[in-house]
Chains A and B, each alone.
Chain A
């Protein structure tokens, strides 16, 4: 990797200052969750950290007896899978449409991103009122509708960024070699976007799994996982709450981390994350030529 122009140059204290702030940001994002995980390994009734030698999975084992938790988990899994299975192709189509559009592009993008910005409560309230009006009773289907609204903008963004890996010139080459639009899509676009489609699916599933505000208005008799957890968190602190909080956290974290690091290893098709970063090749050489006497 060739370095960025700033590399190795004096920053007059900029680099240390910015690095400290970055570490601070990471700390407020990770430290509480980490503390919760360690506290959940404490076998005592009372809260707090214990020596690593006393770590125990007592409360995690106790979870296995929580029948209502598993019912909620099952409901959330059904909603999450349905949401992801619908959002991924629709988001991909939206991204392809954006690419093919010549006019109205920014309006289309705005329409696609808008629901991400409407408070979940308002979307949930509106949707539940409409469903009540058309006499559709709340169930996992209504929650899935609400979650489509929530996840689709993210999936579209992931697909848009993933689509940056499909260069128009590559597609033009395929077309020049006689491939029709569908053949070019199947043979060129899809393979190049496999990674971002997997990311789309996993992200949509996780966003749905952890969504609270819309589900609050749209659930039927069976609560989803976050609704059940919220109830448990506010009704006295049994240590099992820490255990299932910890379990949910670990499961989500491992899933996303796997996506990111798989993407980072395969340079050709990142989940979009590394494509969003500046390209830093061809930069150092011209500088040497310029500064040569």
Chain B
């Protein structure tokens, strides 16, 4: 490589990228690839592990005993969570990115981001106190005379799971949309106002199309992360509620490694397809581009 400025820059970039690439490939991609390969091996009853005998038995088992249903159920739950989160996140992000001065906007964004770094386990658990038979909601409903006996479906139900998931994943939806708001040129908004557009016209025909990449990124983030959920379902869901994660744990309890690997492989491949499609259509890296000089 000739010792030009560009060459030196390329070499610096290479060495700076190396540690993270080694880590992501070594402990991220290699295990996932091995899991995909091992999902085609067979269970070894002698060692309770796997042996290199190629077989598609795990993928056949994946279609049996309602396992495909659990996949679909989890996808449905994740889609519902992502839809609800995005619908709530757009107005919240608009308040931050459009309707507030800089100080309140910073405060609001901090308030929305902080819970993400606190214990998800504790926050899911806290919903039990709120939604339970003797929880605050039932207490208020009974005291107001709206119901005579505690409402049972509040806790240990799909309702509880979705509300717990939305509360946990809102930051993932809000942050990309706020970033999208930050990229809107204010002159565009000013122009629409000078041309006499009211708030809703401006919002629907100028702002919404411009923030769409952020909205889709937010939806996708929540969807993808909610696919891997287990805590909210285990703490707030009904007795029969399941998810991909819980299914994998159950399969491993009977040490059926190839089947667990098969489930993991199918889910990972579907996620990779979703992420690549989204990246192609949205160019997600633009959200972190340096603006200005």
Q: Which residues of A contact B (CB under 8 A)?
A: 1, 3-7, 9-12, 14-15, 17-19, 21-22, 24-26, 28-33, 35-36, 39, 47-49, 89-91, 93-94, 96-102, 105-106, 108-115, 117-123, 125-127, 129-130, 132-133, 145-146, 148-149, 152, 156-157, 160-161, 163-164, 167-169, 181, 203, 206-207, 209-210, 212-213, 216, 226, 229-230, 233-234, 241-242, 245, 248-249, 252-253, 255-257, 260-261, 264, 270, 273-274, 276-278, 280, 283, 287, 290-291
Q: Which residues of B contact A (CB under 8 A)?
A: 6, 8-10, 12-14, 16-21, 23-24, 27-28, 30-32, 34-35, 38, 49, 88-89, 91-92, 94-103, 105-115, 117-123, 125-127, 129-130, 134, 136, 139, 163, 166-167, 170, 174-175, 178-179, 181-182, 184, 186, 189-190, 193-194, 198-200, 203, 221, 224-225, 227-228, 230-231, 234-235, 244-245, 248-249, 252, 257, 260-261, 264, 267-268, 271-272, 275, 279, 283-285, 288, 290-293
Tell whether, in the assembled complex, residue A19 and residue B24 are in contact, meaning their CB atoms are under 8 Å apart: no
Among the listed B101, B112, B125, B272, which residue makes an inter-chain contact with A4, where contact means beta carbons less than 8 Å apart?
A: B101
Give A90 to B35 CA distance when docked, in angstroms.
26
Tell whether, in the assembled complex, residue B19 and residue A230 are in contact, meaning their CB atoms are under 8 Å apart: no
Q: Provided the pairs A5-B189, A25-B112, A105-B285 are in contact, do residues A12 and B200 lie with their beta carbons within 8 angstroms?
A: yes
In the complex, how many angstroms separate the beta carbon of B243 from the nearest chain A beta carbon?
A: 9
Q: Provided the pairs A100-B9, A118-B271, A119-B227 are in contact, do residues A276 and B125 lie with their beta carbons within 8 angstroms?
A: no
Tell whether, in the assembled complex, residue A248 and residue B96 are in contact, meaning their CB atoms are under 8 Å apart: no
Q: Provided the pairs A129-B261, A169-B293 are in contact, do residues A122 and B267 lie with their beta carbons within 8 angstroms?
A: yes
Give A31 to B136 CA distance when docked, in angstroms.
11
A-B contact count (CB 8 A): 336
Report A-chain residues with C-beta under 8 Å of the C-beta of B12: 97, 100, 181
For B231, the closest partner residue in chain A by CB is A212
Report B-chain residues with C-beta under 8 Å of the C-beta of A3: 101
Among the listed A126, A156, A181, which residue makes an inter-chain contact with B31, where contact means beta carbons less than 8 Å apart?
A: A126
Tell whether, in the assembled complex, residue A94 and residue B110 are in contact, meaning their CB atoms are under 8 Å apart: no
Contacts A22-B92, A148-B27, A252-B118 known; list 10 others, CB within 8 Å. A14-B203, A17-B91, A32-B129, A36-B122, A93-B20, A129-B38, A245-B125, A253-B118, A264-B106, A287-B190
Tell whether, in the assembled complex, residue B228 and residue A245 are in contact, meaning their CB atoms are under 8 Å apart: no
Tell whether, in the assembled complex, residue A21 and residue B88 are in contact, meaning their CB atoms are under 8 Å apart: yes
Q: Is the interface of B mostly helix, strand, loop or mixed?
A: helix
Q: Provided the pairs A29-B115, A129-B31, A260-B110 are in contact, do residues A108 and B17 lie with their beta carbons within 8 angstroms?
A: yes
Most buried by B among A89, A118, A257: A118
Give A113 to B227 CA distance when docked, in angstroms.
17
Report A-chain residues with C-beta under 8 Å of the C-beta of B163: 28
Report B-chain residues with C-beta under 8 Å of the C-beta of A270: 106
In the complex, how many angstroms separate the beta carbon of B193 from the nearest chain A beta carbon?
A: 6
Tell whether, in the assembled complex, residue B19 and residue A93 are in contact, meaning their CB atoms are under 8 Å apart: yes
25 A-B pairs in the complex with CB atoms less than 8 angstroms apart: A9-B199, A10-B199, A12-B200, A17-B91, A18-B92, A25-B92, A28-B166, A28-B167, A29-B115, A36-B129, A49-B136, A97-B12, A97-B14, A97-B16, A105-B285, A108-B17, A119-B267, A121-B264, A122-B228, A122-B264, A181-B12, A230-B231, A230-B234, A273-B110, A276-B178
